[in-house]
Amino acid sequence: MSDADLPAEFALIARHFGPLAGPGALGLGDDAALLAPPPGRELVLTVDAMIGGVHFLPDDPPDLVGRKLLRVNLSDLAAKGAVPIGYLLTVAAARDTPDAWFAGFAAGLAQDQAEFGTTLLGGDTTSTPGPIALSLTAIGHVAPGTMVHRAGAQPGDGIWVTGTVGDGALGLAVAQGRLADPSGFLLQRYRLPQPRVGFAIARIASAGMDVSDGLVQDLGHICRAGSLTAEIDAALVPLSEPARHAGADWLPIILSGGDDYELLLAAPPTREAQLRDAARDAGIAVTRIGSFRAGPPRVAVRGPDGQPMVLARRGWSHF
Amino acid sequence: MSDADLPAEFALIARHFGPLAGPGALGLGDDAALLAPPPGRELVLTVDAMIGGVHFLPDDPPDLVGRKLLRVNLSDLAAKGAVPIGYLLTVAAARDTPDAWFAGFAAGLAQDQAEFGTTLLGGDTTSTPGPIALSLTAIGHVAPGTMVHRAGAQPGDGIWVTGTVGDGALGLAVAQGRLADPSGFLLQRYRLPQPRVGFAIARIASAGMDVSDGLVQDLGHICRAGSLTAEIDAALVPLSEPARHAGADWLPIILSGGDDYELLLAAPPTREAQLRDAARDAGIAVTRIGSFRAGPPRVAVRGPDGQPMVLARRGWSHF
């Protein structure tokens, strides 16, 4: 049979996703992918879904949707100190989804998998009567015993974040017409997070995760995992110029909004220099925003006025 | 913070999915799973999605939905000769999905992961305004170089199937009210496929896949991958008693309908005895339904009357 005889589903996969397939993907022409794990390494696996109308806006450019889907998963790998290997993908889309949407989506994946050194291993494409539903499983590797966990922070460890915090949540507000964004910076940060791949935090960070559901909520996870109190200083939280310009009213959103995909790390004072060196080698900014102390698992935020700050909403939940 | 302070999303995950977590899942309390690959083995990875209203019916019992989701992926691993290790899961559900749905879904997964020897490694739970969208990535392992591919069949190899063919498609017809099913057998086969985990086909089958999109279409994939013509005899295709009772009018549906999740294998005549032995050891029926010959990639079906049979629709496509 020629390709023209193939059902449309297979032709679509071959046309758009075939070029993304790496070694082990068997040209996406088999039922499974084959992966020879790097000898002597452990694998790190993560999965994140994105739903049209929930995690992205229906008219977002499809290449940015593809890039964001890959990046949010690469961000999880980066937060664990893992080096990306490959990924598997599920796309459920309406039957009348234009071919151009798939072309744009795949072009975005192609661009970013080249940038971050990963390839498509396999996937499933299906139809849905609902909004586009995407799921991506990313696989990386670490030296045995060196994955950075949520647990592991100790009293006295510093609390660090990469890049700037709050741009994602403000970008969503821009997309919803609730905030002006003359430069387009915030909207771009919401649409296209920057996974901190290449930041070699293994053996340096004592704990870590990425900030996807809001800085305070995610810091609370590290507190619970380590049975620690976190004390952070809102004035130390690194802000982009556009976030600073948004004004003080937006500070609660900045501290509790999601979609930053910066890394939130714990590091003992004795490894501060190593952390800074690793960040510099990766071209990534890191900022110390507070520290952990013994105490019940909770996050104490000192506001810009030096007084304790209470956040009505700590972060994002889907249910 | 106590669990009562956790956002509902995390409580839901802990309550329903926590008990499914295996070693490496870190109690589902981290951002990624950690997997030490079995030394000296290659990994086999597959992903399949299921959408409410497309792959299952909205009122299907949730435990059967969970079991089917896991089973269709385990079926892919079985078709590649792989031993299951673990899986990652995405659940996108409406915000008002009853807790009982999640409880039932997780109970189904718990039952089948115990039966088939696999555990949950990680996942993502999110909301959708659309139908329930599920995606599952399953991981297995094989001895290096022994994964059964779609490609690899040779002229003269026999074409084999496990179990009985067509029950899944007939079960869907039952669910749609188009066919009677006094015993309930067909509907059960549609709702709960039997993955052929434990059938040790590595180094025996020259090619293989599972029948998910229809026997003739899926056999066409093996033909294309190996540049071979397949000749099968409809009279040899193993049918269950209820399928036989449905009558000859249903034969095209039986040969082209999906959802069987039986294995479709190629094996050289010299390994027929080994194939039968391995099937017997696993308690699985295998039937030879034809053979491959040199020729253009296509599937020739001899009908019950001995004449070539033409199928209007070879299988299932989502687009």
Distance (Å, whole) CA B119 – CA B138 = 10
Instruction: Write out residues 53-72 of B within 8 Å (CB-CB) of A.
Output: 53-55
Size of interface A-B (CB pairs under 8 A): 243
Q: Residue B208: which pLDDT band, with cuts at 50, 70 and 90?
A: very high
Instruction: Write out residues 184-203 of A within 8 Å (CB-CB) of B.
Output: none
Cβ separation B127–A318 shorter than 8 A: yes
Per-block mean pLDDT, blocks of 10 residues, chain A (319 long):
53 89 85 93 96 89 96 97 97 94 96 97 94 97 97 98 97 94 95 95 97 93 95 97 95 92 98 98 98 96 92 59
What's residue A291's pLDDT? 98
Residue A256: count of CB within 10 angstroms of its CB: 22
Would you call A318 an interface residue with chain B, using a CB distance cutoff of 8 Å?
Answer: yes
Cβ separation B92–A33 shorter than 8 A: no
Would you call B123 an interface residue with chain A, using a CB distance cutoff of 8 Å?
Answer: yes
Sign of CA dihedral B271, B274, B280, B284: negative
**Facing A1 at nearest CB: one of B31, B131, B220:** B220
Would you call B125 an interface residue with chain A, using a CB distance cutoff of 8 Å?
Answer: yes
What's residue B6's pLDDT? 52
> Which option is the CATH number for A158-309: 1.10.287.610, 3.30.230.10, 1.10.730.10, 3.90.650.10?
3.90.650.10
**Facing B319 at nearest CB: one of A8, A144, A315:** A8
Residue that is written with structure tokens 């109690």 in the block: B27
What's residue A315's pLDDT? 58
Angstroms from B318 CA to nearest CA on chain A: 5
Residue that is written with structure tokens 């510093």 in the block: A158
Q: Reading across the β-sheet that carries B207-210, which strands appear in turn?
A: B207-210, B263-267, B158-162, B286-294, B228-233, B298-302, B308-309
Cβ separation A46–B8 shorter than 8 A: no
What's residue A11's pLDDT? 84
Q: Compare all CA atoms of chain B with the CA of A8 and give the residue at the minimum distance.
A: B319
Distance (Å, whole) CA B79 – CA B194 = 12
- B97 residue type, one letter: T
Q: Which two tokens stand for residue A166?
A: 């709050």
Q: Is it the case that residue B7 has pLDDT exceeding 50?
A: yes
What's residue B2's pLDDT? 35
Cβ separation A33–B54 shorter than 8 A: no
Angstroms from A136 CA to nearest CA on chain B: 9
Cβ separation A1–B298 shorter than 8 A: yes
A114-123, B6-15, B22-31, B161-170: the lowest-pLDDT one: B6-15
**Facing B137 at nearest CB: one of A26, A30, A137:** A137
Would you call B227 an interface residue with chain A, using a CB distance cutoff of 8 Å?
Answer: no
What's residue A59's pLDDT? 87
Tell me which residue of B35, B27, B11 sits closest to B137, measured CA to CA.
Answer: B35
Helix (H, G, I), strand (E, B), or coil: what is residue A183?
Answer: coil
Residue partners of B55: CB distance under 8 A and separation at least 6: A126, B49, B68
| Residues β-bridged to residue A93 | A127
pTM: 0.91
**Facing A137 at nearest CB: one of B47, B147, B223:** B47
Q: Higher model confidence: residue A167 or residue B1? A: A167
Helix (H, G, I), strand (E, B), or coil: what is residue A295?
Answer: coil
Q: Higher model confidence: residue B286 or residue B5? A: B286
Q: Is it the case that residue B5 has pLDDT exceeding 60?
A: no
What's residue B4's pLDDT? 38
Q: A-chain residues within 8 Å CB-CB of B33?
A: 44-46
Mean pLDDT of B78-93: 97
Average pLDDT, chain A: 93
Would you call A9 an interface residue with chain B, using a CB distance cutoff of 8 Å?
Answer: yes
Q: Is the ipTM of this complex over 0.85?
A: yes
Angstroms from B188 CA to nearest CA on chain A: 23
Would you call A99 an interface residue with chain B, using a CB distance cutoff of 8 Å?
Answer: no
Average pLDDT, chain B: 93
Q: Tens digit of pLDDT for each residue in A168-192? A: 999 999 999 999 999 999 999 998 9
What's residue A5's pLDDT? 46
What's residue A311's pLDDT? 82
Crossing angle for the helix pair B62-79 and B99-116, to the nearest 10 degrees = 30
Q: B-chain residues within 8 Å CB-CB of A230?
A: none
- CB-CB contact of A266 with A158 (8 Å): yes
**Facing B37 at nearest CB: one of A43, A89, A318:** A43
Q: A-chain residues within 8 Å CB-CB of B223?
A: 1
A254: part of which helix (H) or strand (E)? helix A251-256
Q: Structural domain boundaries of chain A?
A: 3-28+38-142, 158-309
Q: Compare all CA atoms of chain A with the CA of B315 and give the residue at the minimum distance.
A: A7
Angstroms from B178 CA to nearest CA on chain A: 23
**Facing A34 at nearest CB: one of B7, B44, B122:** B44
Q: Compare all CA atoms of chain B with the CA of A97 and give the residue at the minimum distance.
A: B319
Most A-contacting residue of B90, B91, B261 (CB-CB within 10 A), to test interface:
B90
Q: Tens digit of pLDDT for each residue in B250-285? A: 999 999 998 899 999 999 999 999 999 999 999 999
What's residue B199's pLDDT? 97
Say if domain A3-28+38-142 classifies as CATH 1.10.3470.10: no
> Which option is the CATH number for B9-21+40-142: 3.30.1330.10, 3.40.50.10540, 3.30.413.10, 3.40.50.300?
3.30.1330.10
Q: What is the 3-state secondary structure (H, E, C) of A186-212?
A: HHHHHHCCCCCCCCCCCCCCCEEEECC
Would you call B23 an interface residue with chain A, using a CB distance cutoff of 8 Å?
Answer: no
In this structure, chain B runs to a length of 319
In this structure, chain A runs to a length of 319
What's residue B310's pLDDT? 84
Angstroms from B86 CA to nearest CA on chain A: 11
What's residue A57's pLDDT? 82
Mean pLDDT of B217-231: 95
Q: Compare all CA atoms of chain A with the CA of B47 and give the residue at the minimum distance.
A: A123
Q: Compare all CA atoms of chain A with the CA of B213 and give the residue at the minimum distance.
A: A7
What's residue A3's pLDDT? 37
Instruction: Write out residues 69-98 of A within 8 Å (CB-CB) of B.
Output: 76-77, 79-80, 82, 88-90, 92, 95
